[in-house]
Homo-oligomer: A and B are copies of this chain.
Amino acid sequence: MDRPTIGAIVLGAGGSTRMGGVDKLLAPLAGRPLLARTLDPFADSPAVQAIVVVASAANAAAIEALVCGRAKMRAVVLGGERRRDSVRAGLAALADCDLVLVHDGARPLVTADLIDSVLRAAAETGAALCAVPVSDTVKRANAAGLVESTLRREHLWLAQTPQAFRRDILLRAHEELEGDFTDDAAMVEALGLPVRIVMGSARNLKVTTPEDLELAAAMLGHGE
């Protein structure tokens, strides 16, 4: 696998339940649709050859219109109910790839550097994700909001995307495992295979609320 074929799955099928009726992927972020900003670094990364966007029935037409004619764009495919169903649809559209990236469409501040460092780690280990060290104290609470315990903070990380995988490994995880997972790396972990963490960035936030969208806009205005 000296010159692996590399494809990216950008997930856009999730709801925007906390956005007050706005589809966050199509929301303007510093003057451009959020998803357009997410896709740029994948198009810019020399390693990435093909990009697949996974859409929902509700936003597929708008996403088609948005990505039409963009560099490296291979397809817009329909996702499913669960995250894993959407990733599976993306994998099917990248059957020729040795390595696949999976990225949340709602993380528009990803960079080509971050993409490339995750890819390098996955080429070596088989699976990798970017993550940031937990800097706050983590508590487990009960349903009533009373603290049950304070977790040991050593070696705790907050997972981000992009995550990258040898395609055969992620496909095997999808074929062998039942149930849903909060991220794709967890499926490879469940197979007992190694997953490497590479340093992510506090800037690489996931837009979930209107406040996150403001914050992302503020970040775009600073530090660039």
Listed in ascending order, the chain A residues whose CB lies under 8 Å from chain B are 125, 129, 131, 134-143, 145-151, 153, 155-160, 181-183, 185-186, 189, 194-198, 202-203, 206, 208, 211-212, 214-215, 217-219, 221-223
Contacts and interface: CB of A to CB of B under 8 A. Distances in A.
Q: Which of A129, A145, A155, A194 has the most CB of B within 10 A?
A: A145
Contacts of A218: 215, 218-219, 221-222
A150 to B, nearest CB: 4
Nearest to A18: B135
A183 B134 contact: no
A58 B223 CA distance: 30
Contact of A139 (B150, B156, B181): B156
Given A137-B183, A148-B155, A214-B223, 14 more contacts: A125-B146, A135-B206, A136-B160, A137-B159, A140-B157, A141-B157, A142-B155, A145-B197, A146-B194, A147-B189, A147-B194, A202-B212, A203-B211, A211-B223
Given A182-B153, A189-B149, A202 B215 contact: yes
A135 B208 contact: yes
Contacts of A181: 150
A137 B150 contact: no
A142 B154 CA distance: 9
Nearest to A217: B222
Nearest to A194: B146
B136 A159 contact: yes
Closest 3 CB pairs of A and B: A218-B218, A137-B159, A136-B158
